[in-house]
Amino acid sequence: MVIEGFTYHRVPVGDGVSLSAAVAGEGSPIVLLHGFPQTHLMWRHVAPELVAAGHTVICPDLRGYGASDKPAETGPDTYAKRTMAADIIALARALAHERFALAGHDRGALVAFRAALDHPAAITHLACLDVLPTLDMWEALHGAAAAVGFHLYLMAQPPGLPERLIAADPDAFFGHFLDAWTGDPQAIPSDVRAAYLEACRDAIPSIVADYRASAGIDIEHDQADQDAGNRLRMPVTVLQQDWGAALGYDAAALWRAWAPDVRHGTVGFGHFMAEEAPAGIVKALRELLER
């Protein structure tokens, strides 16, 4: 499946890795990063609206997902968010964009967060959808309510076991999240759901490696930035479900500690908000880009 009206490119980003990216439009650039267990198709409603609003829109599949390369995990750096963020910087530069806005959902938001910390001169605006920074996420999970994040603990295990367990029935595993996290089941129609599941079946080792990095090296990188007092200096928008009510944390306060210029909003729709409420996401992104 493709996003209608977009041209697809295969772009080398270094170390023998190439990303697949859908590109359309003219004007100030914005890069949209997908989450788990999805591909760039999650932006199929939002991206054309941003093109119509006068932006160049770039929707890649992240390293390890979709049609992008899936290098074998040779160490913690292979799927560190720092490495995945560097991919996005290289992608944008290859498409002639030294500075660009960046929006991410779920895993893509963690990559966007890291890109904004590591490459502040390149990121003009940042939007993060339904996620906490990695360091805060692990600290927020506790007690029985943390069972909602069981997959985080499973995929944090050393190589071998999580991959074998997921491979035993990948459609049941990945499909669980598409079903359980969707407020409106009609938001992910059967053909899109099938495309997501097919993409995940082909990417089990790399998806697990992405999550494994978030239980190790990504924490180290976040902690180093927190200790050094590094902050997000660009305008930031964060939209989240109200997980704090169940897990007992103040999401807005956690984000304010990282971003002096943040606008935080709690939404009433499901996790897959770009598919469930695309008009609201387009509105939030356009307002961010005007700041």
| CB atoms near residue 22 (< 10 Å) | 25
Check: CB of residue 103 under 8 Å from CB of residue 127.
yes
Q: Which of 40, 55, 264, 271 is catalytic?
A: 271
143: left (phi over 0), alpha (psi -120 to 50) or beta: left
| CB atoms near residue 200 (< 10 Å) | 24
Q: Which of 106, 130, 136, 225 is catalytic?
A: 106
Is-catalytic flag, 34? no
Distance CA(199)–CA(206), nearest Å, equals 11
Is-catalytic flag, 271? yes
Residue 73: both structure tokens together? 């995990």
Annotate 48-79 with b (16+ C-beta within 10 A) or e (fewer).
bbbbebebbbbbbbbbbbbbbbbbebeeeebb
Give catalytic residues, as residue numbers.
106, 271
